Chain A
Amino acid sequence: LAKTTQPISMDSYEGQEVNITCSHNNIATNDYITWYQQFPSQGPRFIIQGYKTKVTNEVASLFIPADRKSSTLSLPRVSLSDTAVYYCLVGDPDNAGNNRKLIWGLGTSLAVNP
């Protein structure tokens, strides 16, 4: 079973902010939360990783509440090119053996409309 739960799909429009929430009720103390993006016919691409509070980079922001049982990937002002599948993964960076075998789940298929 996947350690995370995400919505299967979301729809948005160009210029809107999109927030994708991932539930990870059984997150362990040493686990980090990592998000990947995958376009059709491409491999997944790392977006952002965080442990607590808020992380921001040039692509997205990641909000993690104090209890860390969920996290929200925020994409500001999406464009058509943000249409992709977004995967949320939870794992301990120092436990690579387990991380290799993480169940990725179905991800969230985001469709950005004109």
Chain B
Amino acid sequence: GAGVSQTPSNKVTEKGKYVELRCDPISGHTALYWYRQSLGQGPEFLIYFQGTGAADDSGLPNDRFFAVRPEGSVSTLKIQRTERGDSAVYLCASSPTDAFSGANVLTFGAGSRLTVL
């Protein structure tokens, strides 16, 4: 697609529930990133995929968070047993390669706003 698409744009759930957030990156981008952004803060890195594999998941806060990218394109971020502290905007970004210079900068989606009641 023309840009990075994220669904749903808004998700309200109850504490303890399971949620899935989807990211459809720019076609052909092999690198995919998930970030989390709390109100008034900058994005915080969660996990990075190069192709189908999670090459760096060091930013995931705990084992309730998991992400997959089975075919090297669409990715799903999964959060189990949600807590109120998980409320944030979850941003997905993609890049042609895992580099941060010139054309290989990150293209972000609009994000999925998660609210845990």
Q: Identify whether the interface residues of A are mostly helix, strand, loop, or mixed.
A: loop
B66 sits at the interface (CB 8 A): no
CA distance A59 to B86 in the complex (A): 35
Residues of B within 8 A of A93 (CB): 99-102, 104
Contact A44 B58, beta carbon cutoff 8 Å = no
A87 sits at the interface (CB 8 A): yes
Interface bin, chain A: 20 to 34
Contact flags B83-106 to A (C-beta < 8 A → 1, else 0): 000000001110000111110111
CA distance A87 to B98 in the complex (A): 20
CA distance A91 to B98 in the complex (A): 13
Binding site for A on B (CB under 8 A): 4, 33, 40-45, 48, 56, 58-59, 91-93, 98-102, 104-111
Binding site for B on A (CB under 8 A): 32, 34, 41-46, 49, 87, 91, 93-94, 96-97, 99-107
